[in-house]
Amino acid sequence: MGHAQTKYLSPQTVDVYQAMYDHVEELNGDCDPFPSEIETFHGQTLKLRNGDGHLIKKHRVINVGKDENTYSISDSYSNHSYINFIAAKCWIDTAISRSPASLNHQSSGFIALSDIMLSDKAFSSEKNFAKGIASQLSAIILANKTNQRVWTAIRQFANYAIENSYWGFDETVIFKLDEVVIPNSGSKQRVSLLDNENGPFTRSEIAQISTAIQDGRLSLKHKVMVRLAMKFGLRPIQMALLREEDVYYDSKVFAWFINIPRVKGKVAQLRRNKNNFLLRQLPQELADDIQELIANESDRSLCDLDGIRRPRPLFKRSAANEHYLKDKKLSDYAWHLSSSRITKAFSETIQTQLGLNSAYVKDEDDNPLPLKITAYRFRYTLGTRMVLEGKTPEEVAVALDHSSTASVSHYFRYNRDLIDFIDDTFESSKVLSNSVARWEGYIIDDDDDTVKGTVVRGKDLVNLGKCLKQSRCDWHPSVSCYGCGQFRPFKNADHESQLKVIEAERDFVRNNSSGPVQHQLDEAYEGALQIVEAQKIIVREVS
């Protein structure tokens, strides 16, 4: 299964949907055509186009070991080709990445998109469109509040459009839909910030992701993408607009910084004026990764049609965009990876490389589905974390690049529920059990002489474990050990007390510094949490 098996019409073939693509590209800055053939979640080859090039309306999709059902797709759900394009792409990507049961809602629910009536004014600006589409989708949900397939499909449509950075769709749209109360649905089904599939990651899921990154599962480029999303909550379009020159070292303060382009939703791959950037300090480890990525690609010559060198993006295309090269106003962006490609990198490549399963989202046979990885999930996580840390609406708005606090008010509405959701309990978390398994094989007895290494001592000179590293270590003594793969914790050491020490130091640094030690302490904190839980598991097994 996967997008690798997706086939398209040959470049020489005239596509009947070209006018639709042109309209989408005019708004969105780029547009991938409809495929001619895909491979479904269970490996079934599905032909999407008929002889005259139009989408085939009905498809018999096999759900292996369960059933076969017919699901409908359309190229004319509404009077707006832009909406129709997004809905059809949502259906296609769902067929590729999810079990056929996931098409149930969309197959019948997308019919309700026919109620969308947007004026020309709505298409005059992203702000007007976002306001209009949020209002229209909310009205559809209210009108169909007894039909779960419809309101679930509408939410899937909105989440898909947001995650794929379509023009006029940002998180404020889904927040607007969250305000629509569905009787008897339960808050965890209606609030996207309490959504295990599309909402913020829980604490244990972040620990899982961090561990997978430490274990080297991601390529350097994808590791940088994830860490930028995790640290700053960047939208895909912001990553797409980054250039090598945006990252620099300030010798006066001995720190690395990054200039992040400010955007409002999807723009046509253009950087705003030179004053429209957010300056952020980079953790040392992330700065090192970025410098390595830049160095690895330093021999690539990025030129235009006249052989003149163009600006160097941080995330580069394998070949220049020919349409941009032919337009002098766009040639500076010919080598930039588009936001849609970055979105796909998260949902396809990065998700596959991480290879993590969700403890909460399952298929109809109760089997865990892959943990969904999107840039926006990291963005939601940052926003909710800031609320739980007591940040003001103004601070959250600035961090997430919103023009006003109204756009982030949603993060503050479900404070108590968010605490329970984000800080999922370790005792009941299957996710953490997988995460701490990494430490279970490394926890050793205090008198185990077969493990050679230097004894690590913590507060009051208490022995915590051994360090296998043979060379001098420049990391924070005893604290950073908990985030290091060279650490072998002692089985009977008081790691819980050391966890409190790390927590206190982390809180102090957060309140008094913005340096790279923050990142070290965050990883150490997650590692200490995992070790404490691993200790509990070992004790239970012994007893």
Per DSSP, 37 falls in state E
Residue 282 pLDDT more than 90? Answer: yes
Q: How many CB atoms lie within 10 A of CB 245?
A: 11
First-last CA distance in the chain: 44
Backbone angles phi, psi at 355, to 5 degrees: 60, 40
CA triple 363-366-370, angle to 5 deg: 50
pLDDT of residue 83: 98
Q: Residue 84: inside a domain, yes or no?
A: yes
> Is 402 inside a domain boundary?
no
Asked whether residue 20 falls in the same domain as residue 160, the answer is: yes
pLDDT digits (tens, 9 = 90+) for 145-174: 888 889 889 999 999 999 888 999 988 888
Residue 183 Cα to chain centre, angstroms: 30
Identify the pLDDT of residue 228: 97
- Average the pLDDT over 494-500 and give the result: 88
CA nearest to 269, candidates 318, 342, 214 = 342
Do 233 and 170 fall within a single domain?
no
- Summarize the confidence of residues 45-72 as an average pLDDT: 90
- Whether 361 is covered by a domain: the verdict is no
Tell whether pTM > 0.85: no
Tell me if 213 is assigned to some domain: no
Tell whether 263 and 170 lie within a shared domain: no
What whole-number distance in Å separates Cα of residue 19 and Cα of residue 118?
19
Asked if 382 contacts 228 with a C-beta cutoff of 8 angstroms, the reply is no
Query: Does residue 323 sit within a domain?
Result: yes
- Domain-embedded: residue 279: yes
pLDDT for the residue numbered 447: 80
> Taking the CB of residue 473, how many other CB atoms lie within 10 A of it?
15
Chain-wide mean pLDDT for the chain?
84
How confident is the model at residue 186, as a pLDDT? 47
Q: Where are the alpha helices (DSSP H) in 441-494?
A: none
pLDDT at residue number 444: 84
- Same domain (yes/no): 36, 163: yes
Asked whether residue 355 is domain-assigned, the answer is: no
Is residue 227 within a helix (H) or strand (E), and if so which, with residue range? helix 220-232
Whether 534 contacts 298, CB under 8 Å = no
pLDDT range class, residue 61, cuts 50, 70, 90? very high
Rounded to whole angstroms, what are the CA distances from 190 to 102, 175, 181? 18, 10, 7
Q: Which residues pair with 278 in a beta bridge?
A: 260
Average pLDDT over residues 211-222: 92
71-109 pLDDT tens trace: 999 999 999 999 999 999 999 999 998 888 789 899 999
Q: What's the number of CA atoms in the CB half-sphere (13 Å) around residue 195?
A: 20
Q: Who's near 110: CB < 8 A, 6+ residues apart?
A: 74, 77, 87, 91, 153, 157
pLDDT of residue 259: 94
Q: Look at residue 115 and tell me whether its pLDDT is greater than 80.
A: yes
Q: Which has more confidence, 532 or 297?
A: 297
pLDDT of residue 270: 59
Which of 289, 320, 344 is at the close of a domain? Answer: 344
**Residue that is written with structure tokens 């005019």 in the block:** 26
CB 491 within 8 A of CB 445: yes
Q: Quote the pLDDT of residue 181.
A: 62
13 and 114: one domain? yes
Better-scored residue on pLDDT, 31 or 118: 118
> What is the three-class DSSP state of 183?
coil
Q: Tell me which residue of 294, 298, 307, 305 sits closest to 330, measured CA to CA.
A: 305
CA quadruple 191, 195, 199, 201: dihedral sign: positive
Asked if 290 and 265 count as a contact pair (C-beta separation under 8 A), the reply is no
Residue type, 113: L
Cα-based angle 47, 31, 197 (whole degrees, multiple of 5): 75
Domain shared by 183 and 224, yes or no: no
Question: Which H or E element spans position 81?
Answer: helix 81-97
Give the model's pLDDT for residue 59. 96
Cα distance between residue 366 and residue 369, in whole Å:
9
What is the enclosing helix (H) or strand (E) of 507? helix 495-512
Residue where one domain finishes, among candidates 146, 164, 187: 187
- Give the H or E element holding residue 360: strand 357-362
Show the tokens assigned to 425. Answer: 């309990």
pLDDT category at 187 given cuts 50, 70, 90 is very low
Both 183 and 222 in one domain: the answer is no
Which pLDDT value is given to residue 422?
Answer: 67
- Residues 3-18: what's their mean pLDDT? 88
515 close to 257: Cβ distance less than 8 angstroms: no
Q: What integer pLDDT is reported at residue 3 of this predicted model?
A: 61
Say if residue 161 is in the same domain as residue 299.
no
Percent of the chain with pLDDT over 90: 38
pLDDT tens per residue across span 426-480: 444 444 455 555 565 678 888 877 788 888 887 666 789 898 877 777 676 677 7
Give the integer Cα–Cα distance in Å for 57 and 299. Answer: 48
DSSP single-letter state for residue 346: I
Structural domains of the chain, count: 3
307-357 pLDDT tens trace: 888 889 999 999 888 878 887 777 888 899 988 889 989 998 999 999 999
Spatial contact of 236 and 165, defined as CB atoms under 8 Å apart: yes
Domain membership of residue 125 as a residue range: 1-187
Percentage of the chain with pLDDT > 70? 85
Mean pLDDT of 204-208: 84
d(CA 304, CA 312): 12
Query: 396 in a domain, yes or no?
Result: no
Question: Where is average pLDDT lowest: 44-58, 200-214, 345-359?
Answer: 200-214
514-532 per-position pLDDT tens digit: 554 566 677 788 788 878 8
More confident residue, 304 or 215: 215
Q: Is residue 416 within a helix (H) or strand (E), and if so which, with residue range?
A: helix 415-422
| 103 and 227 together in one domain | no
Q: Helix, strand or coil for residue 302?
A: coil
Write the pLDDT tens digit of every residue in 368-414: 889 999 999 999 999 888 887 778 889 888 888 887 788 788 888 76
Eight-class DSSP state of 329: T
Residues 134, 42 share a domain: yes
Residue 201 has pLDDT above 60, yes or no: yes
Residue type for position 538: I
DSSP annotation of 312 reads -
Residue 176 shares a structural domain with residue 244: no
**Spatial contact of 257 and 243, defined as CB atoms under 8 Å apart:** no
Query: Looking at 291, 310, 344, which one is the last position of a domain?
Result: 344
Both 340 and 226 in one domain: the answer is yes
Q: Name the residue with higher pLDDT: 523 or 254.
A: 254
Residues 500-511, mean pLDDT to the nearest whole number: 80
Mean pLDDT for 121-136 is 93
Q: What is the pLDDT of residue 543?
A: 55
